[in-house]
A and B are shown apart, each in its own frame.
Chain A
Amino acid sequence: MGDANVLARVLDWMPFVLTGFGLNVLMSLLAIAIGTAVGTFLGLGQLSQPLIIAVPSRLATQLFRNAPWLVLLFYCIFLMPYQVGIGGSVIVLPSWLRATIGFSFPVAANFSEIVRGAVNSVPRGQWEAAEALGYGRQSTLFRIILPQCVTRMIPPWMNLYALLLTATPLSVIVGVEEALGRTQAAVQALSDSRMLIPMYLALLAMFFIYAWPINRLSLMLERRFRTK
């Protein structure tokens, strides 16, 4: 069996694996969206003065930031119901969706820290100047501090996304049919040990080709914002 033959057999299975990869991308996009939205609230919560908001926000952030992603995933898969009834209709929650929610927790916690760090990196003088001009705490945050933070938050946010994407194959353990699961299935179907390494190389390449430009872009943006 020649190299060309190996390549041809890998390519044969690519549509099957790529469909699974589509699920990885979908899960990552949904999880970053949910995580960013929730993380924004958590981050602003961490920064707020009333302790009744600040303390739970800090606790949640620390809890989900320091828990292994896989453990959070298990929690979501096994503790969340298989279906939820909204009104009269019953919505089935497929395992990939429950896994997505599982990924959203650590993403939210990490983004919460990105928000807190970015806000705290704005010099104190900005707050004081705003205060001296009659701005209250909230309008200072929204009109003066946060607009300066957005550019600082984009590079770490993109890194977080790349990290999230590379974590999505964890969901194979809870039975989601994503790229890793499908590669395993393909290797079994091929039942040829010589195909093992090429198939997993193809899988690696898939993730790399998707995630690497994101990391490069985030690095580039980081440099650009730093010099400004």
Chain B
Amino acid sequence: MNASSSSQPLISLRGVRKSFGPFEVLRGIDMDIRKGEVVAIIGPSGSGKSTILRTINGLTPINDGVIMVGEIKVNDPKVDKVKLRHRVGMVFQQYNLFPHKTVLENVAMAPIQVLKEPRSLVEERARKLLGEMRLPDKADSYPGELSGGQQQRVAIARALCMEPEVILFDEVTAALDPEMVKEVLAAVRKVAEDGMTCILVTHEMGFAREAADHIYFTDKGLIVEHAPPAEFFTRASDPRTKEFLSKVL
């Protein structure tokens, strides 16, 4: 752990600010995430958690500050979007699978069409990923035929198939029925254990505690504190963190 924490961070945010109209959602966010780290961002709703994620892959442009992913400056207006999205994958709360495409096409289409990789290679990789997501027999199904949990696992396979260096998970279990939360969390866990750098926004405190290397707590557009989970959940120092934890634990 020491060796990796002294190396260059894969992702860094410095003084990131974002306003929607008169409302400032992010009021100066600093973060450093190293390769292979699993980071959970928690906090009350409306505290800007999801916005932080969306600024990292450039879905939400920022007003001020600097975001670096490797050597890519995300907030550069001339940033190579394809290169950025190749390195940063994302999984959404509402899965957002393409309903008119089969599961296999959903997983394989972007690497083929956007990254211009050979179809046979990508499809082989996609099938392997569907196997890892325990969906080997669903390749030819359409998203509408799958349960929410299955759809979300397809979405994870779709993100993985781009072979990114980091995956952003935006409340990936929030839209699921309780019995499906577990299977999706297990899938996220597997991705993390395979060494993928993961940034997750989640309300699953138990999962954050077990799976994350580091926890960030946000409130009103600021990072109030961050610490490894053992420390965070037992010795939170800030009163806002304490109040939040007392509500959710």
Asked if A144 meets B115 with Cβ closer than 8 Å, knowing A133-B110, A134-B86, A136-B81, the reply is: no
Which B residues lie within 8 Å of A134 (CB)? 81-82, 85-86, 110, 114-115, 162
Taking a contact as CB atoms closer than 8 A, the residue among A126, A128, A133, A136 that contacts B158 in the complex is A133
Interface size class of B (residues with CB under 8 A): 20 to 34
Beta-carbon contact of A132 and B86 below 8 Å: no
Asked if A129 meets B114 with Cβ closer than 8 Å, knowing A134-B85, A134-B86, A228-B144, the reply is: no
The A interface, classified by DSSP as helix, strand, loop or mixed, is helix
Which A residues lie within 8 Å of B43 (CB)? none
Beta-carbon contact of A125 and B92 below 8 Å: yes
Q: How far is the CA of A122 from the CA of B162 in the complex (A)?
A: 24
**Separation in Å of the B235 CB from the closest CB of chain A?**
36
Which B residues lie within 8 Å of A129 (CB)? 90, 92, 96-98
Beta-carbon contact of A125 and B86 below 8 Å: no
Beta-carbon contact of B96 and A125 below 8 Å: yes
Beta-carbon contact of A128 and B110 below 8 Å: no
Question: Which chain A residues (107-133) contact chain B, with CB distance < 8 Å?
Answer: 123, 125-126, 128-133
Interface residue B79 (Cβ < 8 Å from any Cβ of A) = no
Q: How far is the CA of A72 from the CA of B85 in the complex (A)?
A: 49
Which A residues lie within 8 Å of B12 (CB)? none
Q: How far is the CA of A126 from the CA of B100 in the complex (A)?
A: 11
Identify the closest chain A residue to B99 (Cβ): A148
**Separation in Å of the A125 CB from the closest CB of chain B?**
4
Asked if A135 meets B59 with Cβ closer than 8 Å, knowing A129-B96, A228-B144, the reply is: no
Interface residue B218 (Cβ < 8 Å from any Cβ of A) = no
Beta-carbon contact of A135 and B110 below 8 Å: yes
Q: How far is the CA of A125 from the CA of B151 in the complex (A)?
A: 14
Q: How far is the CA of A31 from the CA of B98 in the complex (A)?
A: 34
B-contact 0/1 string along A123-163, CB 8 Å cutoff: 10110111111111001000110011000000000000000
A-contact 0/1 string along B82-107, CB 8 Å cutoff: 10011001101010111110000000
Interface size class of A (residues with CB under 8 A): 10 to 19
Asked if A144 meets B98 with Cβ closer than 8 Å, knowing A132-B57, A132-B89, the reply is: yes
Which A residues lie within 8 Å of B81 (CB)? 134, 136
Interface residue B113 (Cβ < 8 Å from any Cβ of A) = yes
Which B residues lie within 8 Å of A135 (CB)? 110, 113-114
Beta-carbon contact of A126 and B92 below 8 Å: no
Which A residues lie within 8 Å of B59 (CB)? 128, 131-132
Q: How far is the CA of A135 from the CA of B111 in the complex (A)?
A: 10
Beta-carbon contact of A128 and B96 below 8 Å: yes
**Separation in Å of the A147 CB from the closest CB of chain B?**
5
Taking a contact as CB atoms closer than 8 A, the residue among A125, A126, A128, A133 that contacts B114 in the complex is A133
Q: How far is the CA of A228 from the CA of B145 in the complex (A)?
A: 10
Q: How far is the CA of A4 from the CA of B82 in the complex (A)?
A: 76
**Separation in Å of the A19 CB from the closest CB of chain B?**
44
**Separation in Å of the A76 CB from the closest CB of chain B?**
39
Which A residues lie within 8 Å of B82 (CB)? 134
Identify the closest chain A residue to B89 (Cβ): A132
Which A residues lie within 8 Å of B86 (CB)? 134
Taking a contact as CB atoms closer than 8 A, the residue among A132, A136, A148 that contacts B90 in the complex is A132
Beta-carbon contact of A143 and B113 below 8 Å: yes
Which A residues lie within 8 Å of B89 (CB)? 132
Which B residues lie within 8 Å of A136 (CB)? 81
Interface centre among B97, B100, B158, B162, by most chain A C-beta atoms within 10 angstroms, is B100
Identify 17 new A-B residue pairs, CB closer than 8 A, beyond the known A128-B59, A143-B109, A228-B144: A123-B94, A126-B96, A126-B98, A129-B97, A129-B98, A131-B85, A132-B57, A133-B114, A133-B162, A134-B82, A134-B85, A134-B86, A134-B115, A135-B113, A143-B113, A147-B100, A148-B98
Closest 8 CB pairs of A and B: A129-B96, A133-B110, A134-B85, A125-B96, A134-B114, A132-B90, A134-B82, A125-B94
Question: Which A residues lie at the B interface, using CB under 8 A?
Answer: 123, 125-126, 128-136, 139, 143-144, 147-148, 228
Query: Could you give 22 example pairs across A and B, Cβ below 8 Å?
Result: A123-B94, A123-B96, A125-B92, A125-B94, A125-B96, A126-B98, A128-B59, A128-B92, A128-B96, A129-B92, A129-B96, A129-B98, A130-B98, A131-B59, A133-B85, A133-B110, A134-B86, A134-B114, A134-B162, A135-B110, A143-B113, A148-B98
